[in-house]
A and B are shown apart, each in its own frame.
Chain A
Amino acid sequence: MVRAAEGDVPEGIDLFIPPWYDIFWSAVMFVALFWIFWKFVLPGMKKALDARSEGIEQKLEQAETERNEAHALLEQYREQLAEARSDAARIRAEAQAERQSIVSEARTEAQEAAAAVTERAEVQMTAEADRVRAVLSRDVGRLATDLAERIVGEALDEQKVSSTVDRFIADLETVAPEGQETR
């Protein structure tokens, strides 16, 4: 081991033989730096990186959950919308059916009412005609009897007269349409 005194340069292979103090100091510094890296720097960095990874993982997980939730919500909304649409369609169809039934009911009712009115009118007219006919036959009978009594001058047998009158009226009835024309 050649020690280099001041300004004294080792030669040849001695250049490659380090003095002990150089080895000592560089070893001290290397070991010190190694210790700092090993005990302090790298664990610190690892901690930070682990925390970062964990944070990222958590964020991803959270995002996944939120996305799923949003998806579910969207699905729910879609279902509700579809339901609402079908409800609307159903209600519309029902309303239409109801309208149709109301209209047809109303029509039937109106027709029935009209028919009733007509019937009533017909019945009244028939009744009126019968009454008129009765009145007419009575009055005309009496009139004709009176007339005939005056002409003959004697009371006629009630029995015979009434049958005669009846025949007369029946004749009148058959002739009436022509009589209308001749009047």
Chain B
Amino acid sequence: MAGKLPRASIPTEKTLSALTTTIILAAEDDGFHAPSLVDFFPPAILFEGTLFEFNRVNLVQLIMTVAVATFFIVAFRNPKIVPRGMQNLGEIAVNFVQVQIIDTIMGAAGRKYLPYLATLFFFILAMNIAGIIPFLNLAGSSVVAVPMLLAVVAWVTFNVAGIRKHGFGTYMKSNLFPPGVPKPVYVLLTPIEFLSTFILRPVTLTIRLLANMMAGHLMLVLFFSGATYLLLDADWLLKPFGLGAAAMGFFITAFEILIAFLQAYIFTLLTALYIAGAESESH
């Protein structure tokens, strides 16, 4: 359903447990915390059972949002003609979105989407990067609400942009009945176009980001928890493997930084692409 995912589909608890039990003979009794989906559904901290229920993941989200907001507020608190320090970093960051995403995909007409796309990019990046920050250790985007919310916002944005530009009829027609095709083909093409444009776009946006962040967390937990267990609790024969697991953990952490950035970039890029496509003259 999700088409090509950059990563393998979400590992289930069962397969991961099976994997870990083959590596570690004496499993889950003491010291070893096997990664599982429970991590993504932590108990509530505040307001349990209400709309405002607040758990560990929400706390991570809050911390990262405050961090990003603080960074940018400090960077542009008193913007100077000649930028110094934080302002330099902030400008480089915003310029990345403006040049690498908006200018290349949407051209000059896309400048009005800068606030939205910049927010999108830095929000996702901050949420993702939380997955490797000590004490947070969980991506804010690894619960389905975040990617889904962002995907819905993207869906609404590109559809509204297209309808505003061309009117509802023309917009739907150009999307569902792309020109230059023999009429009978529409029987096949129109459902496919409908599915791909209006259903699969938000779904793939959601699942791509969610699966990447969940898988990343599971991998990290597997290797770090495994390394801890092997080094401290396991039989001495197994201890060298603990070093291997720690090295893998390091490697995965570096990889997660790349993934965090890449997924934020892909999500934002695709959103820009969808908006540009909806606004373009011919589909």
A residues in contact (CB < 8 Å) with B: 3-4, 6-10, 15-27, 29-30, 32-34, 36-38, 40-42, 44-45, 47-49, 51-52, 55
Is the C-beta of B281 less than 8 angstroms from some C-beta in chain A? no
Question: A22-B58, A26-B143, A48-B80 are known contacts; what are 17 more A-B pairs with Cβ within 8 Å?
Answer: A3-B49, A10-B41, A19-B145, A21-B47, A21-B52, A21-B54, A21-B58, A25-B61, A27-B149, A29-B65, A32-B69, A38-B119, A41-B73, A41-B76, A44-B77, A48-B79, A48-B81
On whether the beta carbons of B119 and A37 are closer than 8 Å, the reply is yes
Judged by DSSP, the binding face of A is: helix
Question: Contact at B79–A44, with CB atoms within 8 Å?
Answer: yes
Choose from B73, B75, B118, B146 the contact partner of A22 (Cβ within 8 Å): B146
Pair A26/B79 contact, Cβ less than 8 Å = no
Q: What residues of chain B lie closer than 8 Å to A19, measured between beta carbons?
A: 53, 145
In the complex, whether B28 has a CB less than 8 A from a CB of chain A is: no
Task: Report B-chain residues with C-beta under 8 Å of the C-beta of A41.
Answer: 72-73, 75-76, 90, 94, 118
**Interface-central residue, A4, A38, A41, by most chain B CB under 10 Å:** A41
Q: Is the CB of B94 within 8 A of A45?
A: yes
Nearest chain A CB to B150's CB is how many angstroms away? 7
B108 within 8 A of A: no
B6 to chain A, nearest CB (A): 18
- By secondary structure, the B interface counts as helix
Q: Which residue of B lies closest to A52 (CB)?
A: B81
Chain B residues lying within 8 Å of A24, measured Cβ to Cβ, are 51-52
Inter-chain contact B114/A55, CB cutoff 8 Å: no
Report yes or no: B58 in contact with A25, Cβ–Cβ below 8 A.
Answer: yes
Question: By CB atoms of chain A within 10 A, which of B62, B75, B145 has the most?
Answer: B145
Which residues from B are CB-within-8-Å of A55? Answer: 81
Give the 4 A-B CB pairs with smallest separation, nearest first.
Answer: A22-B145, A18-B145, A48-B79, A44-B76
Query: Given the complex of chains A and B, what is the CA–CA distance between A75 and B210 in angstroms?
Result: 71
The answer for the CA separation of A27 and B38 in the assembled complex, in Å, is 23
What are 21 of the A-B contact pairs (CB < 8 Å)? A7-B43, A19-B145, A21-B55, A22-B143, A22-B145, A23-B149, A24-B52, A26-B61, A33-B65, A33-B123, A34-B115, A34-B116, A40-B72, A41-B73, A41-B75, A41-B90, A42-B114, A44-B76, A45-B90, A52-B82, A55-B81
Do A20 and B51 have beta carbons less than 8 Å apart?
yes
Measured between beta carbons, the chain B residues less than 8 angstroms from A45 are 76, 79, 90-91, 94
Q: How far is the CA of A19 from the CA of B150 in the complex (A)?
A: 15
